[in-house]
Amino acid sequence: MADRWIHAAFASPSDARDALDRLAEAGTPAGDIELRSSIPLHDVRIAGPAPRTRVPLMAVLGGLLGGIAAFSLFSLTSLAYPLPTGGMAIVPLPPSGIITFEGIAIGAILCTVGTVLFEGRLLRRRSEPGPLDVHLAAGNIIVSVRSTDLPTEAWASRAIVTAAGT
């Protein structure tokens, strides 16, 4: 059976927190719950392990690639354009270190920003608003639960409705 989602809009963070607590008590896995808000919610969290991210790995990888690219830039340039310097290095070590450091920094920054945009699904182009965007624009908090079978759907519905007080 295809995945279905149950959505509930809450006006306050405490109501959303109560719904999340009831979903956790009902045994709903953290991977089947989504929490959306137009404002940061520092005290409302989904129970379970923190989501995994690739940002640190991609920052290190971007730094390595940026450093290699910067080092290659000045070393290959000095080989491509040999200048007579009387036995001295064409590109001395301190300036080459600065250029390498800047390459590391720009590589790490670009890969970090790209990974955040990718993981946050911010690169999508959507021409019309989604069905829940009206609630988010009004300042509500959306709690969504994935349901693959009827018993889970019933549990999730009761937890959300009970927390909402309706």
In 3D space, the residue among 100, 104, 120 whose CA is nearest the CA of residue 55 turns out to be 120
Q: Is the Cβ–Cβ distance between 96 and 71 less than 8 Å?
A: yes
99 Cα distance to chain centroid? 30
Task: Please determine, for residue 1, whether its predicted confidence score (pLDDT) is greater than 70.
Answer: no
Q: Which whole number is the average pLDDT over 9-30?
A: 84
Q: What residue spans of the chain are helical by DSSP H?
A: 13-25, 55-80, 93-119, 133-137, 150-164
- pLDDT digit string (tens) for 24-59? 888 888 888 888 888 888 777 777 677 788 999 999
**Cα dist. 151→26, 70, 159 in Å?**
11, 57, 12
Q: Is the Cβ–Cβ distance between 142 and 7 less than 8 Å?
A: yes
Q: What is the pTM of this model?
A: 0.65
